[in-house]
Amino acid sequence: MKVTLFITCLVDLFHPNVGKATVELLERLGCEVEFPEAQTCCGQPAYNSGYVKEAKEAMKHMIRTFEHAQYIVTPSGSCATMFKEYPHIFQHDQEWEAKAKKVAEKTYELTQFLVDVLKVENVGAKLKGRATYHTSCHMTRLLGVKDAPSRLLKHVEGLEVVPLPNAHNCCGFGGTFSVKMGPISEQTVDEKVRYIEETNADYLIGADCGCLMNIGGRLERTGKRIRVMHIAEVLNSR
Amino acid sequence: MAMKIGADSFHQRVEAGLHNSFMRGAVAGAQERLRTRRLDAAEELGNWEEWRALGEQIRQHTLLHLDYYLMQLSENVAKRGGHVFFAQTAEEANQYIREVVIKKNAKKIVKSKSMVTEEIHLNAMLEAAGCEVIETDLGEYILQIDDHDPPSHIVAPALHKNKEQIRDVFRKKLAYDKTEKPEELAAHARKMLRNEYLTADVGITGCNFAIAESGSITLVTNEGNADLVTALPKTQITVMGMERIVPTFEEMEVLVSLLTRSAVGQKLTSYITVLTGPRDEGDVDGPEEFHLVIVDNGRSSILGTEFQPVLQCIRCAACVNVCPVYRHIGGHSYGSIYSEPIGAVLSPLLGGYDDYKELPYASTLCAACTEACPVKIPLHELLLKHRQIIVEREGKAPISEKLAMKAFGLGAASSLLYKLGSKVAPNALQPFTTDERIVKGIGPLKAWTEIREFPAPAKERFRDWFREHRKERERDGNDL
Amino acid sequence: MGMIYNRDTFLQTIARQLGREQILSDVHRPNWNYTPQWTVFQGYSQEELLSALEAQCSRIHTDFVATTADALATTLKQVVEQYGGGPIVTWDDQRFSEYGLLPLLEAEWPSENVDVHIWDASAGRKNIEWAEKANVGITFSDMTLAESGTVVLFSDAGKGRSVSFLPRTYIAIIPKSTIVPRMTQAAAFIHKQIEIGRIVPSCINFITGPSNSADIEMNLVVGVHGPVKAAYIIVTDR
């Protein structure tokens, strides 16, 4: 099966290990992974800040880059959601709406792809320790991927996954919110950190690098010894 | 703007909110309780999504035919002997109510909770006209006797106050001599208010839903105060936002079911009261005279725009009860009687961007509000639309951000520029990097690193690794 | 006939904003895509509705007492005593005689020095004074909603609103035959009445237990402005 990887700018620039894990995992499951070098960013930073014109330029570029793919897979619930939003954003622009729809229809967040398309829940991963999982807002609420991650994590040998209290609450990232509304973001992420600590977990696992950068950055700043891992890294642990 | 509360800037108010630890504890506790109750109530029905779809369809249909239903409503009110005043502005509404009150020679007015009368600052006008105005909803009453402290939650207006504060206010203003026990406080309020109902000249209410087919108004409470406000005084004035209307009793019923479940997780509140006109011939209680004031005050300018869905709102506050931002800053931070998230959408529309341009940004776009809304208002999308307008039409975005976004547009739309920029990033940020972490950033990074570490750009980008990886696999014979 | 002010420009503004001419007639409600309200307790027998009502009563702080038509007077007397006796105020309602309660109201109680006031439209505001002083207010239920535990009261000259609001305790007598699944059936009934040209009562009350408030620190206080206590007496053979 041919999979076209949309790696996201955050992974490309800041978290290449997440990308490596994604590729290795998919390849081990028998996928042929292709990476179009022309890809940039899905446009979300501009779109969510109100710069729709600028965002659309990025979006058109991404549509052109991905329109011929068979399956588009990305290790980010939020960026997958953005691709899914494209048709809505290009509403009333016949040419681009149609193209956007094609792209949106074949876009999958990584865990969603594993569970729904590859139909696998046990990927043969091993990781020893106690973990809790942060459900990202866009992934659960907008993309509607609610239990794929937990179904996959359940089969990771040696890993005990404990529920995160008030998991439904946002971590306070919100893209530019994290810098525009710093004091509010700080309180929000601090509350998240408190709940994570309550679980006594060794690992905080998530499926979105934005949230993980926010929570991880705060964990580090406040000197907490909890390791932050992207779910791709967990599933690629052996 | 009338709906505005306080003169402090948004950031000053947020600062005050973040430092109010009682309020934050109270809000977090209330959010959890109300959220759980709402979810339980929805789960019990089993087909909540169908209910939401029905609620949305009813509201959309009504808004699309709003002029027709308002015509029908006003005809039916008049047929039953009630008077209807259509007020384009807050001033017109206040002026009419003032005339009625003066004609009735009213000295004392009892009110049941109404957001629209808060919005038009009705009480201030009535007091200026020499009337004593008494709010009868327990929460509103507490706020009123505490020198008009503004409400901080649409459904639980005094959420930000603790019982000791309430006890102290009662002692100071109402000669109260008991403890801070809620039962004792409520019993005292009951005693004080009983007499007010019986001696008031005019009763003023809001309106949860007007019913076009019969000219009725529906009032939803748990305390029963709206019933006393409408049963005892001789004159009743009901003020409604013009969109708070349904075609028939059958739609009222559905929306009330959605409202009570979403607001407080109850199947129905203790009192749902449907009033039609003044009292009937032979009735003893109920008003002799009934006035319905239908208020536009900026609502019509929302119709026909991309913001029209906000008029679907039934004021249940389910969105408030799940908002992570409201959770930490509380209702007063918004500077409007309508707080996040519905308020962050509505306030700039009714009160203008000058006063409320920050509100659309006070959201992580987590969409918890959209998911909770019983009539499916796409709240987080409407916040985004505000941001777009602030940038494109109002030109209120900071220059530095505009430049950055311009650069983003160029960079992200061109693979060459993106590749180039991302390649030099590690070097450009080198001076700020320790241990592969950016501890003290500049520009927008500064705001980030004040709170948390930021990862330094990786020395080898993913794409560089992948290129090597690809070559390796090809060398290994591509034995898939 | 009441007056209507400023309507024309107001409605024209709305029509203009909606981008069309004013609509003055021929608007019909669409066939709603979903009608979940009709599925609640669908097909329940009267017996099953009664059990649902009983279960709901415990959640709304309302005492539930089942009796028969023959025993109604005795039961009512007992319940009133439990709540501390008179003064009592009741509706002027044919059903008090149909259910054989007049001897209790007009002879038995007065002979025991229990004050009973039957609503008397000709006495004007005096009725309100009685109701305000009463310890117990008694009405029949015109319709009863099993799901929410609600009694529906249609006002008229003999059925004053204050009887259910002003006394400290409110007692509703509920003939089993008045129980319907939920508010849907009551709303549909009223809607039908309007369609065939009947006049809606000036006040329709949907009352669900005693008055209450959670305005102080979210603590539930039962009994605020209206009744502090409520009881439903169900007549199981009517």
pLDDT, average across residues A173-191: 93
State the pLDDT at residue B478.
Answer: 55
Nearest chain B Cα distance for residue A137, angstroms: 5
B154-170, pLDDT tens digit by residue?
Answer: 888 898 899 999 999 99
Nearest chain A Cα distance for residue B478, angstroms: 10
The CATH code belonging to domain C45-235 is 3.40.50.10420
Nearest chain B Cα distance for residue A218, angstroms: 4
C47-78, pLDDT tens digit by residue?
Answer: 999 999 999 999 999 999 999 999 999 999 99
List, in order, residues 6 or more apart from B46 with CB less than 8 Å away.
Answer: none
Bigger pLDDT: B437 or B446? B446
Rounded Cα distance, B115 and B348, in Å:
16
Alpha-carbon distances of C143 from A35, C57, C179, C196, rounded to whole Å: 67, 16, 6, 19
Nearest chain C Cα distance for residue B174, angstroms: 17
pLDDT, average across residues B178-205: 95
Chain A residues with beta carbon closer than 8 angstroms to that of B409: 46, 51, 53-55, 57-58
Rounded Cα distance, B189 and B141, in Å:
8
Amino acid at C33: N
This prediction's pTM: 0.94
Instruction: Choose among B85, B282, B290: nearest Cβ to C5.
Output: B85
B317-327, pLDDT tens digit by residue?
Answer: 999 999 999 99
Nearest chain B Cα distance for residue A126, angstroms: 23
| Contact assignment for B214 to C5 by CB distance below 8 Å | no
pLDDT, average across residues B126-137: 95
Largest CA distance in chain C: 72
State the pLDDT at residue B339.
Answer: 79
Beta bridge partners of B274: B218, C204
C181-237, pLDDT tens digit by residue?
Answer: 999 999 999 999 999 999 999 999 999 999 999 888 888 999 889 999 999 999 999
Establish if C133 touches chain B: CB-CB under 8 angstroms: no
Residue of B nearest to C21 (CA): B67
Domain segments of chain C as ranges: 45-235
| Contact assignment for C147 to B267 by CB distance below 8 Å | yes
Domains of chain A: 2-115 (no CATH), 121-235 (3.40.50)
Q: Band of the pLDDT at B477, cuts 50, 70, 90? A: low
- E strand map for B117-248: 132-135, 202-205, 209-211, 216-221, 235-241, 245-246
| Contact assignment for B455 to A213 by CB distance below 8 Å | yes
pLDDT, average across residues B30-36: 90
State the pLDDT at residue A110.
Answer: 98
Q: Band of the pLDDT at A206, cuts 50, 70, 90? A: very high
Q: Which of A133-142, A161-170, B3-12, B105-114 has the lowest mean pLDDT?
A: B3-12
- The chains in contact with chain A, meaning 3 or more Cβ pairs closer than 8 Å, are B
Q: Which one of B51, B67, B168, B219 would you mutate to disrupt binding with C, by most C Cβ within 10 Å of its Cβ?
A: B67
| Contact assignment for B270 to C211 by CB distance below 8 Å | yes
Alpha-carbon distances of B45 from A52, A191, B232, rounded to whole Å: 40, 32, 37
The whole-chain average pLDDT of chain A stands at 96
Question: Helix B163-174 to helix B138-145 angle, to the nearest 10 degrees?
Answer: 60
Q: Taking the mean position of all CA atoms in its chain, how far away is CA B390?
A: 21
B216-219, long-range: CB within 8 Å, 24+ apart, which pairs?
B216/B76, B216/B249, B216/B274, B216/B275, B216/B276, B216/C200, B216/C204, B217/B274, B217/B275, B217/B276, B217/B292, B218/B252, B218/B256, B218/B272, B218/B273, B218/B274, B219/B112, B219/B271, B219/B272, B219/B273, B219/B274, B219/B275
Nearest chain B Cα distance for residue C70, angstroms: 30
Amino acid at A130: R
Radius of gyration for the alpha carbons in chain A, expressed in angstroms and rounded: 17
Does the pLDDT at position C156 exceed 80?
Answer: yes
Does the pLDDT at position B115 exceed 50?
Answer: yes
| Contact assignment for B156 to C11 by CB distance below 8 Å | no
Size of interface B-C (CB pairs under 8 A): 310
B48-295 topology per CATH? Rossmann fold (3.40.50)
- Percent of chain B scored above 90 by pLDDT? 69
Q: Tell me, what DSSP letter sits at residue A140? A: I
List, in order, residues 6 or more apart from B300 with CB less than 8 Å away.
Answer: B242, C13, C14, C17
Instruction: Choose among B329, B365, B422: nearest Cβ to A184.
Output: B329
Q: Band of the pLDDT at B456, cuts 50, 70, 90? A: confident
ipTM score of complex:
0.97
State the pLDDT at residue B332.
Answer: 87
Domain segments of chain B as ranges: 12-44+300-471, 48-295
B221-279, pLDDT tens digit by residue?
Answer: 999 999 999 999 999 999 999 999 999 999 999 999 999 999 999 999 999 999 999 99
Bigger pLDDT: B212 or C25? B212
Q: Which helix (H) or strand (E) element contains residue B271?
A: strand B271-276
- B9: tokens are 């800037």
DSSP string of B411-449, one letter each residue: HHH-HHHHHHHHHHHHHHTGGGEETTEESS--THHHHHH
Q: Taking the mean position of all CA atoms in its chain, how far away is CA C69?
A: 20
Q: Taking the mean position of all CA atoms in its chain, how far away is CA C143?
A: 8
- The chains in contact with chain B, meaning 3 or more Cβ pairs closer than 8 Å, are A, C
Instruction: Choose among C2, C162, C214: nearest Cβ to B77.
Output: C2
Q: Which of A117-126, A157-166, B178-187, B338-347 has the lowest mean pLDDT?
A: B338-347
State the pLDDT at residue C154.
Answer: 97
The CB density around residue C100, as the number of other CB atoms within 10 Å, is 12
Largest CA distance in chain B: 98
pLDDT, average across residues B185-205: 95
State the pLDDT at residue B1.
Answer: 41
Q: Band of the pLDDT at B402, cuts 50, 70, 90? A: confident
Establish if C39 touches chain B: CB-CB under 8 angstroms: yes
Q: Band of the pLDDT at B2, cuts 50, 70, 90? A: low
Establish if A183 touches chain B: CB-CB under 8 angstroms: yes
Establish if C14 touches chain B: CB-CB under 8 angstroms: yes
Are the CB atoms for C89 and C137 separated by under 8 Å?
yes
Q: Which one of C3, C12, C14, C53 would you mutate to disrupt binding with B, by most B Cβ within 10 Å of its Cβ?
A: C14
For chain A, positions 8-67, list CB contacts with chain B under 8 A. Answer: 9, 11-16, 19-20, 23, 27, 30, 32, 35, 37-41, 43, 45-55, 57-58, 60-61, 65
| Contact assignment for B366 to A174 by CB distance below 8 Å | yes
Amino acid at B186: A
Nearest chain B Cα distance for residue A98, angstroms: 19
Chain C residues with beta carbon closer than 8 angstroms to that of B61: 29-30
Instruction: Choose among C128, C186, C225: nearest Cβ to B224.
Output: C225
> Taking the CA of residue C185 as centre, how many other CA atoms within 13 Å lie in the half-sphere pointing to its CB?
20
At residue A190, the 3 state secondary structure works out as helix
Bridge-based pairing of strands B235-241 and B289-295 is: parallel
Are the CB atoms for B360 and B381 separated by under 8 Å?
no
State the pLDDT at residue A51.
Answer: 93
C83-118, pLDDT tens digit by residue?
Answer: 999 899 999 999 999 999 999 999 999 999 999 999
The whole-chain average pLDDT of chain B stands at 91
pLDDT, average across residues A110-125: 97
Size of interface A-B (CB pairs under 8 A): 205
pLDDT, average across residues B285-296: 97
Rounded Cα distance, C237 and B179, in Å:
48
State the pLDDT at residue B143.
Answer: 93
- The chains in contact with chain C, meaning 3 or more Cβ pairs closer than 8 Å, are B
Chain B residues with beta carbon closer than 8 angstroms to that of C229: none
Chain B residues with beta carbon closer than 8 angstroms to that of A54: 405-406, 408-409
Nearest to C216 by CA among B259, B174, B40, B137: B137
Rounded Cα distance, C21 and B127, in Å:
41
For chain C, positions 49-88, list CB contacts with chain B under 8 A. Answer: 56, 60
Residue of B nearest to A166 (CA): B32
- B26: tokens are 């109270």
Are the CB atoms for B286 and C203 separated by under 8 Å?
yes
